[in-house]
Structure 1
Amino acid sequence: MRATGSSRIIPRMIVEPERDALRAALERESRRLVDRVRFAPDLDGRAPGLDWTAGQLVAHLCVIYRAFALTLRGADLDPEIVANLGTGDTLLEMVASTNARAVTVISFPGPREAADGLRECADELLAALDAEVDFRSPRPTPWYGAGVTRTAGTLAALTVSESVVHGYDIARALRTRPWLDESSAASAAPTVMSEMLPLLVDPAAAGFTGSFEMRIRRAPRFVIQLEAGRARSLPAGDVEPDCVLSLSGCDALLVGFHRRSLWRAIAGGGAFATGRRPWLGLRFPSLFQLP
């Protein structure tokens, strides 16, 4: 799906995040990350299933925290950030290229310096969230493509989802037990999924037609409807869904970011499908791409 056309139009958020819950989640997750990084013996281990080391994941989070803090405040991006924006014709290509560049220009001498850098960037982001930003207001997001914008609330929720998922990645890279906080995940997952998944439809899903009501536990419901290779999010109750997917907040993010299979989430009790076509639930993860 190209990052042009409908992706430039910012509809009202289907699920507006709750500011205090997001801020508490970001503070909680970033402090856990900083502590885990600071006391790591090194940051050279690779996260299973990813090409990045723990150190590169920290660099990636630093870039996100810094760029999103500036964007939420309405400030111009640093020239260094602008210079390392990626290129591509689609949102997926833009994000993948930007991420690849970011981890090549930031490095740390050791875990302590990495932790200090991450703490500094997280504090800047927390301060931006304290500034009473209008979560409904659009913000430029050039890392998704020229002219693309997302709401401030979407960006705030993305910082939490990135912290949760990459905290999981970093823990696995360090060969330590991952931490997964359900309240943190649930505060961000509905906004992130409802606002971002429609931009990430897999071209192979062009022949699929169906709708999913997403019931993320301890969070508002919403519907994702797909037809002719496009997707849109709707408030729950606007249409009768074909499939109802119930997920824990953590499983929603891990399945959505392709860190965990839906089968595993179902087996662990973190997900189940109901509705008039419950078997469609197993297709849900394959309908969307990630950078």
Structure 2
Amino acid sequence: MDAMADAIRVMAHRFAELTTTAPDPDREVTATPGWSIVDVLGHVAEESVRYRELAVGRGAWPASAADLPAFNAEQIRALPTRDPRALAARLIGGTETLLATIDGFEDDVPLMMFDGDQRVRADRARGTFLGELIVHGYDIARMLGRPWPIDPAHVPLVFDGLNQVVPGWVNARASEGHTATYELRLRGAARYTFVFRDGRLAIDPADAPAPDVHICADPVTMLLLNYGRIGQWRPALTGQVVMWGRKPWLALNFRDRFLPA
């Protein structure tokens, strides 16, 4: 069984249902200023198509993380339709084509170009697409006052994709000269080691030093923190995030080491 494919398929259908039943599809989504529900739906639908194109060696991507907002704006401007049901159908069709394409690679999974001129494994890149579905769905559902439960088992799948591209999202100004090792634990699920050396980041390197700080968090909380959807103080005060180690204060600025998602 492919847990990643199963998770994406479930979330794509949930996302399509959420967006096509919204009473006002032109309502602005608070978490993504300037984007309406239709814009968000169109963006995610186009991402399903773009990921498949990138997986087979075609498609387009921004040359740097800083170029992504302009890239996304042009993507939305050029949507083939603004009809929610047509876009939802494009999302479901694009998702199925993406999953079938990855499945067809079998054991010969290629590297594909991705945002920030990075080369990533096509199968693991699906994790970032899963993150799009989960987080943008969360944004819309929260605005509409609808439930949007997030499965904690989906969070390590998202991080499996994100960790391929996170080094390209380091905030050069905030991380200039920074050297430290962070252990990030998704409570009951997974753990990762983030090693900064003079401002450059490697994740889970074989020669990782002992952590300067350990950060352990509820998986869903960490996902929303990672995408900047919630602040860090309430989770810290309620025990959803705990930190310890030789330099526990480093945890307070960990999110600032990266550009906004």
After TM superposition, the score normalised by the length of structure 2 is 0.88
- Counterpart in 1 of 2:104? 131
- Deviations 1:244-267, CA, capped at 9 Å, x for gaps: 111232222211111112223324
Which amino acid is 1:102 matched to? Q
Deviation at 1:240, TM superposition (A): 0.6
Tell me if 1:200 matches 2:169. yes
Bigger RCO of structures 1 and 2 (CA < 8 A, at least 6 apart): 1
Which amino acid is 1:241 matched to? P
Contact 1:201–1:287 (8 Å) recurs in 2: yes
Structure 2 residue matching 1:130: 3-state secondary structure? helix
Which amino acid is 1:185 matched to? V
Deviation at 1:103, TM superposition (A): 0.9
- Name the CA distance, whole Å, in 1 between partners of 2:167 and 2:7: 25
The number of aligned residues is 259
Contact 1:139–1:151 (8 Å) recurs in 2: yes
Structure 2 residue matching 1:195: 3-state secondary structure? helix
- Name the CA distance, whole Å, in 1 between partners of 2:132 and 2:88: 17
- Name the CA distance, whole Å, in 2 between partners of 1:273 and 1:135: 40
Contact 2:51–2:98 (8 Å) recurs in 1: yes
Contact 2:128–2:162 (8 Å) recurs in 1: no
Question: Pairwise mapping of residues 113-192 of structure 1 onto structure 2 (< 5 A)?
Answer: 113-134=86-107, 137-141=110-114, 143-145=115-117, 148-189=118-159, 191-192=160-161
2:25 to 27, 38, 43: 43
- Name the CA distance, whole Å, in 1 between partners of 2:170 and 2:195: 11
Identity across aligned pairs (percent)?
A: 24
- Name the CA distance, whole Å, in 2 between partners of 1:258 and 1:65: 23
- Name the CA distance, whole Å, in 2 between partners of 1:230 and 1:95: 21
- Counterpart in 2 of 1:76? 58
Deviation at 1:25, TM superposition (A): 1.0
Contact 1:243–1:278 (8 Å) recurs in 2: yes
After TM superposition, the score normalised by the length of structure 1 is 0.79
- Counterpart in 2 of 1:53? 36
Contact 1:40–1:111 (8 Å) recurs in 2: no
Structure 2 residue matching 1:27: 3-state secondary structure? helix
Deviation at 1:40, TM superposition (A): 1.6
Distance 1:58 1:227, change over 3 A: same
- Counterpart in 2 of 1:100? 73
Structure 2 residue matching 1:23: 3-state secondary structure? helix
Which amino acid is 2:155 matched to? A
Tell me if 1:221 matches 2:203. no
Deviation at 1:241, TM superposition (A): 0.4
Contact 1:54–1:173 (8 Å) recurs in 2: no
Question: Pairwise mapping of residues 260-275 of structure 1 onto structure 2 (< 5 A)?
Answer: 260-275=230-245
Deviation at 1:193, TM superposition (A): 3.9
Deviation at 1:285, TM superposition (A): 0.6
- Name the CA distance, whole Å, in 2 between partners of 1:170 and 1:24: 22
- Deviations 1:10-65, CA, capped at 9 Å, x for gaps: xxxxxxxxx71111110111111111122221212222232221111111111111
Distance 1:129 1:162, change over 3 A: same
Distance 1:209 1:278, change over 3 A: same
- Name the CA distance, whole Å, in 1 between partners of 2:109 and 2:101: 15
Deviation at 1:197, TM superposition (A): 1.9
- Name the CA distance, whole Å, in 2 between partners of 1:173 and 1:108: 24
Structure 1 residue matching 2:235: 3-state secondary structure? helix
- Name the CA distance, whole Å, in 1 between partners of 2:9 and 2:237: 31
Distance 1:132 1:264, change over 3 A: farther
